Amino acid sequence: MKKTICIIGGGPAGMMAAISSKTANPDNEIHLLEKNPLLGRKLRATGGNRCNVTNNCSREELVAQIPGNGRFLYSVFDQFSNQDIIQFFESHGCPLKEEDHGRMFPTTDRSQTIIETLKKTIDDLGVHTHLETTVHQIDWKNKRIVGDKQVFPFDTLILTTGGVCAQHTGSTGDGLKFAKTLGHTITELFPTEVPLVASENFIHDGSLQGISLSDISLTLWSDKHKKVKTIRYDLVFTHFGISGPAPLRLSSFVRKQLIKQQAPVLVTIDCIPDISLDTIMANRKDFNEKQPATWIKQYVPSRLAALLVSLADLSADQKVGQLSPAQLDRLLQLLKAFPLTIRGTQGMERAFVTGGGISIKEVQPKTMESKLVPELYFAGEVLDIYGFTGGFNITAALATGYVAGLHSNKKA
């Protein structure tokens, strides 16, 4: 039996839902509604306009890299995985290349190539795309969508309107309101994959602004001095705190700890996680006649080295060979566990991903269909699913989109 399936939201989740739905049953009529004048507006800005579209890692790793309900995605990834995403783009004339940490990008280094590939597939399949079409209301009783220009009757509806971060791209949370009206629970929304705000004066006076550290180890501590989470990746100091992959990845854990403690939290940076204290000490004798900053500059950029020396209370004219054991200890502690007081994260406008969304408890994990409203499906960031940066969020959007589209074909 022929069905009319409407999809609200033309991001990666909505586009892939349209493709899998129409591919599975070409007789169905598919309408993809998008408020922007183009599809994939946010997608265009991803990965620094290069689109880190997925990650070439194992299934276990994929789930582990999605701290926000990644385990809910096991059966989704059984049906459409990161390897299927790679295969999809390769077989549609858009080869991908792998960079560090398994991150996959189009070989063109242009996110537009990803969007064009999805769009061409949608057009070739005969999906009806309606751009500049904002949905204002879902009249579920009469099975019709009320758009600003037109009313769309439907048999089945897929909601792929995204989260609430980077709202200028069109993701303003409309789908969360629709889902709530239809009886769904929306878990608390929060900015995640977002930079961290520090309290220290040396941060706010710009002493470290712009300094990047590669492959550091960033640890979040509890108020009982227990390790909460350690992330190994890159970091950059800013005028408000720290940004880059390591702080972004730590942000959802920092948020939880801030709520738990109701006070600022401690993070420490091991600037040289692969170099032991013994190795540093062994290397010290070559610098006995030099100033401490000259020694430390071997391990960290000179501006940071100068700050570490001053935070260790060493006088500028002291030589390395004259440092007391206590002074040495202070300096090396700073190098291996540089402390920062984190008083918050930046807001939703700076976040890469929205934490929270439609509760996954009310969604069938094998089909993405609502457990409360038959013929209603969800996919992408509108769900309470959030991953680390590294291609995991687009992966979750494409995979849930694929599964929602596929199962939306079931008999009405």
Q: Which residues bind ligand FAD (CB under 6 A)?
A: 8-14, 33-36, 41-43, 45-47, 51-52, 134-135, 160-162, 165-166, 170-172, 174-175, 352-353, 380-381, 391-394, 397
In 3D space, the residue among 374, 392, 365, 408 whose CA is nearest the CA of residue 12 turns out to be 392
The answer to whether 140 touches 373, Cβ cutoff 8 Å, is yes
User: Which has the closest alpha carbon to 233: 242, 224, 222?
Assistant: 242
The smaller minimum CB distance to ligand FAD, of residues 9 and 355, is found at: 9
Question: Could you tell me which residues come within 8 angstroms of residue 110 by beta carbon, excluding any fewer than 6 positions away?
Answer: 49, 50, 51
CB of 107 to ligand FAD, least distance (A): 16
What is the nearest approach in angstroms of ligand FAD to the Cβ of residue 331? 38
d(CA 53, CA 72): 20
Q: How far is the CB of 170 from ligand FAD (least distance, A)?
A: 2
Please say which residue, 8 or 271, places its beta carbon nearer to ligand FAD. Answer: 8
Distances (CA, A) of 30 to 8, 17, 34, 125: 11, 10, 13, 10
**Residues near 149 by Cβ (< 8 Å), separated by ≥ 6?**
132, 133
Whichever of 33 and 335 has its CB closer to ligand FAD, that residue is 33
Beta bridge partners of 191: 354
E strand segments, 222-318: 227-237, 241-243, 265-270
CB of 91 vs ligand FAD, minimal distance in Å: 20
Structure tokens at 203: 């941060």
Distance in Å, CB of 217 to ligand FAD, minimum: 23
CB of 42 to ligand FAD, least distance (A): 4
Residue with smaller CB distance to ligand FAD, 34 or 116: 34
**Residue 5 or 265: which CB sits closer to ligand FAD?**
5
Complex with ligand FAD: residue 323 or 383, whichever CB lies closer: 383
- DSSP lists the bridge partners of residue 198 as 342
